[in-house]
Amino acid sequence: MIQTYVENILKELKDKKPEVLMILGSGLGSLANQIEDKTVIPYEKIGFPKSSVSGHAGCLVVGRMGKHEVVCMQGRFHLYEGHNPELIKNVMCAFKTIGVKTLIVTNAAGSLNADMPAGSLMLINDHINFSGKNPLLGANDEKYGPRFVDLSAVYAPDLQDKLKNIALQKGIKLFEGVYLMVLGPNFETAAEIRAFKILGADAVGMSTVPEVMSAVYTGMKVLGVSVITNLGTGLKTSVQSHAETLEQAQKATQKLSDLLKAYMEE
């Protein structure tokens, strides 16, 4: 499968050579509008499954952002859609094979801290895999990565520093914290949110960890940012909804867009 993805991507890329992969979370797909000299490749042409979640488009957008050639996944594969975790490993192995060196991953997440409200941006400095799933399960091909992956510095410290400096320069408030992945597709109970806080998490969401683990496995460097779309269950009086996630993500997109644009200028 990896080889098929590689051949199909290379065929569609023509002479483009992206070194940065961006994955855009729920409601954040419009960030791809920042990309210049665009080629849009529907997932079907690569053999990727179609995205089944509203707010996720299902295509690759390839082009230039600032000083970098980028390929952007507009729409990601969530495990709660029923995808095999290995799909995500295969996708990341394919991107590494075509020359991608860095993953910039974004997501929509719930906050576990009332002081980090909806609309905030949170730099992910570590994660907790609470999904019960692992994309690296199964036989290992050493060609792509090691059997036992070191996760001691998953989110590259130098990339984190760079983003923090840019946020400071631009006057954009950037929170920082630990992202906990649940499998979903349900929102959490209030008791779960209290438990996750005790575990050391700052934000909760249903994605990112499989992509990040797979990227680190292949040797990519990773930068992650969560867009806080809501307070976790029990931290607010209203109910949780995907509509709220999309609405708040859209509102925060401009801020994230400005931040990542400036990041790509360096």
Clarify whether 68 is annotated catalytic. no
Alpha-carbon distances of 252 from 27, 37, 174, rounded to whole Å: 10, 25, 12
Identify which of residues 47 and 117 has a Cβ nearer to ligand HPA in the complex. 117
Clarify whether 241 is annotated catalytic. no
Catalytic residue among 12, 68, 80, 84: 80
Clarify whether 127 is annotated catalytic. no
The Cα 42–Cα 47 span in angstroms is 9
The Cα 140–Cα 161 span in angstroms is 33
Amino acid at 232: G
Clarify whether 230 is annotated catalytic. yes
C-beta of 193: minimal distance to ligand HPA in Å?
8
Round to the nearest angstrom and report the end-to-end CA distance of the chain.
Answer: 35
CA of residue 115 relative to chain centroid, distance? 23
C-beta of 229: minimal distance to ligand HPA in Å?
5
C-beta of 108: minimal distance to ligand HPA in Å?
4
Clarify whether 242 is annotated catalytic. yes
Clarify whether 92 is annotated catalytic. no
Q: Report the residue closest to ligand HPA, judged by CB.
A: 110
The Cα 209–Cα 180 span in angstroms is 8
Catalytic residue among 201, 230, 252, 264: 230
C-beta of 265: minimal distance to ligand HPA in Å?
29
DSSP 64: E
Identify which of residues 63 and 110 has a Cβ nearer to ligand HPA in the complex. 110
Amino acid at 40: V
Clarify whether 206 is annotated catalytic. yes
Contacts of 201 (CB under 8 A, 6+ apart): 112, 128, 177, 178, 179, 180
Query: Which helix (H) or strand (E) element contains residue 12?
Result: helix 2-13
Identify which of residues 34 and 107 has a Cβ nearer to ligand HPA in the complex. 107
Clarify whether 207 is annotated catalytic. yes
Catalytic residue among 73, 78, 192, 213: 78
Identify which of residues 69 and 192 has a Cβ nearer to ligand HPA in the complex. 192
C-beta of 235: minimal distance to ligand HPA in Å?
9
Identify which of residues 31 and 35 has a Cβ nearer to ligand HPA in the complex. 31
In the complex, the residues that contact ligand HPA under the rule CB under 6 A are 108-110, 182, 187-188, 204-206, 229-230, 232, 240, 245
Task: Check: CB of residue 70 under 8 Å from CB of residue 63.
Answer: yes
Listing DSSP states for 49-104 in one string gives PPP-STT---EEEEEEETTEEEEEEES---GGGT--HHHHHHHHHHHHHTT--EEE
Residues labelled catalytic: 26, 56, 78, 80-81, 108, 206-207, 230, 242
